[in-house]
Amino acid sequence: MVSYAVIGASRGIGLEYVRQLAGRQNAVVFAIVRDAQGSTHLNAIVSGLKNVHIFEGDVTDYRSLEVRTFNMPTAPAFILSRASMSAQRAAKQVRDVTGGTLDYLIHVAGRTDPETLYQALDDYSWVLTKTCHSPSMDALDEDCITAYKINTLGVIHGISAFLPLLRAGPTKNIVVLGSPAGDFRLTRAASIGDMAVYSVSKAGGLVAAMKYAVKLKSEGFCVVLLSPGLVDTTGTIPGELGAATGKALLDKWVAENSHGGPVAPCADPEESVRDQLKVIDSLKTSDNGRFLTYTGDDYVMP
From CA 131, how far away is CA 168, in angstroms rounded? 41
| Predicted local distance difference test score (pLDDT) of residue 65 | 73
Q: How many CB atoms lie within 10 A of CB 58?
A: 19
The CB-side HSE value for 33 (13 A sphere, CA atoms) comes to 25
The count of residues in the chain is 302
Task: Region of 201 please: left (phi>0), alpha (psi -120 to 50) or beta.
Answer: alpha
Q: Please check whether residue 132 lies inside any domain of the structure.
A: no
Q: Please check whether residue 199 lies inside any domain of the structure.
A: yes
Looking at the chain, list the stretches that DSSP marks H as alpha helix, in order from N- to C-terminal side: 12-22, 40-46, 62-67, 90-98, 137-151, 153-168, 184-189, 196-216, 240-258, 269-281
Looking at 81-136, list the stretches that DSSP marks H as alpha helix, in order from N- to C-terminal side: 90-98
Instruction: Please state, in angstroms and as integers, the Cα–Cα distance from residue 132 to each residue in 136, 145, 177, 249, 254, following that order.
Output: 9, 12, 27, 20, 27
Q: Please check whether residue 142 lies inside any domain of the structure.
A: no
Q: Please check whether residue 137 lies inside any domain of the structure.
A: no
Q: Please check whether residue 302 lies inside any domain of the structure.
A: no
| Predicted local distance difference test score (pLDDT) of residue 258 | 56
Nearest to 256 by CA among 176, 180, 204: 180
| Predicted local distance difference test score (pLDDT) of residue 93 | 74
| Predicted local distance difference test score (pLDDT) of residue 78 | 42
| Predicted local distance difference test score (pLDDT) of residue 136 | 66
Residue 254: give its domain's CATH number.
3.40.50.720
Query: Are 50 and 73 in contact, with CB atoms under 8 Å apart?
Result: no
Q: What torsion, rounded to 10 degrees, do the Cα atoms 11, 13, 16, 17 define?
A: -120
Q: Please check whether residue 135 lies inside any domain of the structure.
A: no
Strand partners for 31: 6, 54
Q: Please check whether residue 181 lies inside any domain of the structure.
A: yes
- Can you give the pLDDT of all 302 residues of the chain as single tens digits? 899 999 999 999 999 999 999 999 999 999 999 888 889 999 999 998 999 999 888 888 877 776 344 443 334 444 433 322 322 356 667 778 888 899 999 999 999 887 788 888 888 765 555 555 555 688 889 999 999 999 999 999 999 989 999 999 999 999 999 998 889 988 888 888 888 999 999 999 999 999 999 999 999 999 999 999 888 888 787 655 456 666 666 676 666 655 555 556 778 999 999 999 999 999 999 999 999 999 999 998 76
Its domain, for residue 182, covers: 2-112+153-293
| Predicted local distance difference test score (pLDDT) of residue 26 | 94
| Predicted local distance difference test score (pLDDT) of residue 79 | 42
Nearest to 4 by CA among 27, 34, 37, 32: 27
| Predicted local distance difference test score (pLDDT) of residue 122 | 84
| Predicted local distance difference test score (pLDDT) of residue 23 | 96
Q: Please check whether residue 173 lies inside any domain of the structure.
A: yes
Query: Are 52 and 40 in contact, with CB atoms under 8 Å apart?
Result: no
From CA 19, how far away is CA 46, in angstroms rounded? 8
Nearest to 201 by CA among 140, 258, 259, 160: 140
Largest Cα–Cα separation, the chain: 56
3-state class (DSSP) for residue 16: helix
* Domain count along the chain: 1
3-state class (DSSP) for residue 173: strand
pTM, rounded to two decimals: 0.84
